[in-house]
Amino acid sequence: MTDPLNFYGVTLTSRLLVGTSQYPSPAILAEALEASKAEVVTVSLRREAGGSRAGESFWGLIRDLGLRVLPNTAGCRSVKEAVTTAHMARELFDTTWIKLEVIGDDDLLAPDPFGLVEAARILCDDGFDVFPYMTEDVTLADRLVDAGCRVLMPWGAPIGSGRGLNNIFGLRALRARFRDIPLVIDAGLGAPSQAAQAFELGYDAVLLNTAIARAGDPAAMARAFALACEAGRAAYKALPIEPRDMAEPSTPVLGRAFT
């Protein structure tokens, strides 16, 4: 990307954030991350890792690639669990960044808006830089910003569904309301074209995992998403034409022969 992105005072050149689960092997993960040109990766922290330091080789791989880690409270279903996991992540990874998930529905893996706001307020007050996984609800976004969040991460569709951007109207409304807050589409993207669409709506970044990790060729798909992000962002900055209901001729009529 030619124009930088800023999260909590950290400047990034890539607008693609990538998850690190579900890959067939560590080698394929490393290849995909390099192909994506991502600078930030999300990692899930389970409670078992806090005491045993399990997965140390995995963290080593991430560090060797020189990537910034965004720990994730994935799977947490209560405020207490999410806050405890966030504190463990800060100790383990030595970062104040946390991708906050408080899940409220097992089928859709939809966030619990009430628990999300409560946990966000606790963590922001405790010095965390919170990246909340949320729905595209404007009122929820207002509450999260009031709690101290300076980045918002609305879903495009349920996690791992590959359905793309389910609610274009809601996402447009969110972008219009929060012009000065970085907005990241988190979850639901399945194809590079959907990532490009997110950028064309004015979103600042996308975060995805399954679409790359479960692809037939993860590295090739990561490269495709990286190109789509660049194309979508460039298209947004170029100011696309507005849709019309009627045709408008692109060929001049002046000078055309008439009979």
CA dihedral 118, 46, 203, 224 (to 10 degrees): -170
Alpha carbon distance 65, 24 (integer Å): 18
Alpha carbon distance 120, 147 (integer Å): 6
Residue 188 assigned as binding residue: yes
Residue 187 assigned as binding residue: yes
Residue 210 assigned as binding residue: yes
Alpha carbon distance 23, 218 (integer Å): 8
Residue 255 assigned as binding residue: no
- The full 3-state SS of the chain, as one line of letters, equals CCCCEEECCEEECCCEEEECCCCCCHHHHHHHHHHHCCCEEEEECCCHHHHHCCCHHHHHHHHHCCCEEEEECCCCCCHHHHHHHHHHHHHHHCCCEEEECCECCCCCCCECHHHHHHHHHHHHHCCCEEEEEECCCHHHHHHHHHHCCCCEEECCCCCCCCCCCCCHHHHHHHHHHCCCCCEEEECCCCCHHHHHHHHHCCCCEEEECHHHHCCCCHHHHHHHHHHHHHHHHHHHHCCCCCCCCCCCCCCCCCCCCCC
Residues annotated as catalytic (active site), given as ranges: 99
Task: Specify binding-site residues for 1-deoxy-D-xylulose 5-phosphate.
Answer: 160, 187-188, 209-210
